[in-house]
Amino acid sequence: MDSIIRSALRGKKFVLLLDDVWRPIDLKKVGVPDPHITNSKVIFTTSVEGVCTQMGGKKHKVMCLPWEDAWSLFKQNVNKVEDILSLYPDIPGLAESVAKECAGLPLALIIVGSDMSCRKTAGDWRKSHRDLRTSAAKFEDMEQKVFHLLTFSYDNLASKQSKSCFLYCALYPEDFSIHRNELIYKWMGHSM
């Protein structure tokens, strides 16, 4: 792979964008020419501050969504099918508390909001808020917070079958195109 990247970028001025970097990457090892020599740029996004430091990058902190935008995004994902937030008078206040646990992180607001779209009682909302609050306190850095959100999503799946399918999908690499019929066929074979 490094020779493919090296030959594609050799002698060229380039901008390389790396998204969602969780660990330092040795650019030379993967075939990226020294950007200083080629007058090029390597831009990467990470939620782990140490990665930026270890890779010698200039930090540009991107702020989380302000409350109004975060709340709007959360409500949008909760109310996809019906207006869940107006079912009981207690739900809007609980929904705000749940949304605040997402700390303005767009992915968290989307995941948790979508999960909450099937919660129709104040009791369900209280339990979910309690689950988020108690498990979030156990985690300090971003990687673990994202893990916490995945755990929350997994724990709130309705059946063992859904959980098994979720775990099976986790075996595929990020951004891999999973074809529904192929997934169903393989998962059925796996479940037998």
pLDDT of residue 190: 64
Helix (H) / strand (E) element for 18: namely strand 15-18
| pLDDT by position in tens, the chain (length 192) | 567 888 888 888 888 888 878 889 988 888 888 888 888 888 888 877 788 888 888 888 778 899 999 999 999 999 876 788 888 888 899 999 989 988 888 888 888 888 888 888 888 888 888 887 776 544 445 455 566 667 777 777 778 877 877 777 777 776 678 787 887 777 677 655
Q: Give domain limits for the chain.
A: 2-54, 67-156, 159-192
Q: Say if CB 14 and CB 40 are below 8 A apart.
A: yes
Listed residue (31, 153, 84) closest to 16, CA to CA: 31
CATH code: domain 67-156 is: 1.10.8
Distance between CA 157 and CA 140 in Å, rounded?
25
Q: What are phi and psi of 151, to 5 degrees?
A: -60, -45
pLDDT of residue 3: 77
pLDDT of residue 138: 46
Q: Say if CB 119 and CB 128 are below 8 A apart.
A: yes
| 95 contact partners, CB below 8 Å, separation of at least 6 | 74, 75, 78, 85, 116, 125
pLDDT of residue 191: 59
pLDDT of residue 145: 57
pLDDT of residue 139: 43
Q: What is the pTM of this model?
A: 0.54
Distance between CA 117 and CA 82 in Å, rounded?
8
Taken in order 101, 104, 107, 110, the sign of the CA dihedral is: positive
